Amino acid sequence: MSANPFTYVIILALSPVVIFLGHTFLSRLLKAVPRQVTAGLAMIIGFFPVAALEWLFILKNSALSHPDFKAGMIYSIFVYSSIAYSYFHLFNMSETARRIRIFHEIYKKGSVTRKDIEILYDSSQIVGIRLIRLEDTGQLVKIGNFYKIKGRSLLWVAKIIKIWDTLLAHPRPM
């Protein structure tokens, strides 16, 4: 007999809470580890309690070869991955997003002028921080004065985003 789909919904809807709790614990435990790596670890580790709950309440009574079992697995993997990916982006926004930085500055001061924003956030600072981050995560290597591509994973993401950008027909200033 098939499980009520609502059981999947309840367990998967709890997954952001599971990831957040894991992240809270890991970010205090692994202070020397880059913060985005800690968030990534929380996403991976969070999968196990969610999978265990699904196994306990739904899947252990299903035959592995049954189409309902496979559909449940596919459904859970897609939904969990999407939620975990959204969580990672939410955290990343609090780490790197320019708009959150701008909100923070206005919130602190009440209001800011265009000049304040330009002084606060010059392009050399933005580029400098990102070059360090790309080196730390193994995407770039500095040989002499030249930065070169080392890892290819983020470069592929950049290429896919550029293709999607073309599909949406955004004008790009660069």
Regarding 136 and contact with another protein (CB under 8 A), the answer is no
CA geometry: angle 131, 134, 139, nearest 5 deg = 130
Give the chain's end-to-end CA distance (angstroms, integer). 57
In sign, the C-alpha dihedral spanning 20, 21, 26, 29 is: positive
Looking at the Cβ atoms of 48 and 103, the one nearer to another protein is 103
**String marking each residue 152-171 x if it binds another protein according to CB under 8 A:** --xx-xxx-xx-xx-xxxx-
Q: How far is the CB of 17 from another protein (least distance, A)?
A: 12
Regarding 132 and contact with another protein (CB under 8 A), the answer is no
* Residue labelled with tokens 């921080």: 129
State which of positions 21-50 bind another protein (CB under 8 A): 23-24, 27-28, 35
Regarding 126 and contact with another protein (CB under 8 A), the answer is yes
Regarding 97 and contact with another protein (CB under 8 A), the answer is yes
Chain centroid, CA 74 distance in Å: 21
Distance CA 21, CA 142 (A): 37
Q: Which of residues 33, 44, 56, 149 is near another protein by CB under 8 A?
A: 149
Identify which of 44, 46, 55, 49 has the alpha carbon closest to the alpha carbon of residue 7.
Answer: 55
Regarding 55 and contact with another protein (CB under 8 A), the answer is no
Q: Which of residues 60, 63, 64, 67 is near another protein by CB under 8 A?
A: 67
Q: How far is the CB of 77 from another protein (least distance, A)?
A: 10
DSSP symbol at 32: T
